[in-house]
Amino acid sequence: MRRIVVTAALTALTIAPLAASAASAAKGAPSGTPASAAARPSTHRATWYAVGAAKRSITPRSLKHLYLGGYGIGPVHLAKSVLRPIYARALAVRDPAGQQVVITTLDVQGHFLAYQNGPYGFANMAATLHRQLHIPVANLLFTSTHTHNGPDDLGIWGGVPKSYLHRVTVQAEKAVRAAVRRERPARLRWTTVNMKGFNETFAAKGDNDDGDLKDFPVDHTMRVLQAVDHQHRVIATMLNFASHATVYGPLDEVSPDWPGAAATYLEHDERGMPRHRHYGYPHSTALVVEADLGHTWPGGIPHDNIVRLNPPRKHDNNYPADAYGNAIARRAINAIRRGHHSVFGRVAGARTAITVANDNPVLLAGLANPYGAADALTTTVAALRIGRLLLAGAPGEEYPTINIALRTGLKGAIVFPVGLADDQLGYLGTPADYVAAQECSLTDEGFFTISPLFGNQVLAGQRRDARALGFHVSAGKLPTEGGKVPVNGVCLSQQLP
């Protein structure tokens, strides 16, 4: 499959952001609210929204010529079976004024904004849904869970048939329409929880389990958004957490990895659980939204979070993902129980088009054939506002330095960083992130970085989106580094025999 540069189409699809009317935003938690602060219930009166959620299967009906993406390079990861179903999940939120936003997730490694071989991109889905539902394109945000044993919609690891891209498109659109149809009055609540120990970066020997946090910051915060109806029944839960979906190494089986396990636990839909087992929220839908996951992957399950699963390991063929994903889901459930903030205010969307110059000579040559024009790629930086929550999208695997820089100059917003939003163009970091990746990830992050300036372009777009959505963004320079570039060879020493 090939990617097409769609500058004209993007211009036509880009809806002018809603006017920046900062409405009488009441005081609440500041950006980057710590878990301890989030545990204090909000004193502000919540808004009644109309909320709906739905999921539709995107499990392949045929595995012929279907490759899985995320490990190695080229057609080395052919799917032979399905370990667990995969889904498109959608959450729709409409405010009292009738403005509506929708976020949709796919259990795939990544998905492009547009394709050269058919109308299968996120831009095409948004255009179709805009015609059918009259929701502004800017108010429709799509993302991928980034499972490394999910279908290779990108075509880098062998790709998938056009018939599968068609299926994903149809099912994702059905999930959005069903979510909108199911809207009913609901309150929204949010909280945060410290997930230190669950995710990590390059380990620095002799320092700590999180590596050199000055050079490689890790986002240990999980953000939780939940919708509850009049009867206090949970409609939907959204987890926003930074951890690559790589609990497994490469399998020859389709798997949603830990995001799928976390979602099905929250949905009370785990395979093999006894009927009497109380867990999750029956009849609800759960979305797992990857956050700023550059340099970040699963670190394990802290000892005090390990709970014996039922069924036991010997009867659970998905045990590694279930153990990690279920533990994450339980942390979210407990955090909501301990305390939360109410969501109040309007909803809106904004997006900014950017063109990225491909400075990577390897990708420039390697993508010329499958991607068409590979020297410059046009994409979008998208964002949604839900009350004071800012879902700040990045069209790839955003490094935490980008989120830190955004929050530093932002007032009045609680940031939910959304990775792989509306596109998947590899790693997005500051120039220092780029240089560090050359040392610490010799065969991965450096290889899949289009440009050392890509992250700065995305940050500039996020700031424009935040202003358009009514948030105050102070003027500031774009970061030129995310910490000192490592020079002690720690990463190299771990990769060498």
DSSP string, 384-408: EEETTEEEEE-SSEE-HHHHHHHHH
User: Which range (65-69, 214-218, 245-249, 288-292) has the least confidence?
Assistant: 214-218
Measured between alpha carbons, how far is 365 from 375 in angstroms, rounded to an integer? 9
Rounded mean pLDDT, 193-197: 95
Give the CA dihedral 426, 431, 436, 438, nearest 10 degrees.
60
Which of 183-187, 206-210, 354-358 has the lowest average pLDDT? 206-210
- In the chain, what are the helix, strand and coil shares in percent, each to the nearest 5? 25, 25, 50
For residue 149, CA distances in Å to 75, 145, 250, 339 come to 13, 11, 7, 35
Half-sphere exposure of 144 (CA within 13 A, CB side): 32
Asked if pLDDT for residue 496 goes beyond 80, the answer is no
Read off the DSSP letter of residue 204: B
Strand partners, 410: 473
Q: Angle, nearest 10°, between helix axes 454-468 and 431-440?
A: 140
**Predicted pLDDT at 329:** 96
Average pLDDT over residues 318-341: 94
- Region 288-293: mean pLDDT is 96
Checking if the pLDDT of 292 tops 50, the result is yes
Return the domain boundaries, the chain. 1-497
Q: What is the pTM of this model?
A: 0.87
pLDDT at 316: 85
| Residue 384 near residue 101 (C-beta atoms within 8 A) | yes
Say what the pLDDT of residue 445 is: 67
pLDDT tens-digit series, residues 78-135: 999 999 999 999 999 999 999 999 999 999 999 999 998 899 999 999 999 999 999 9
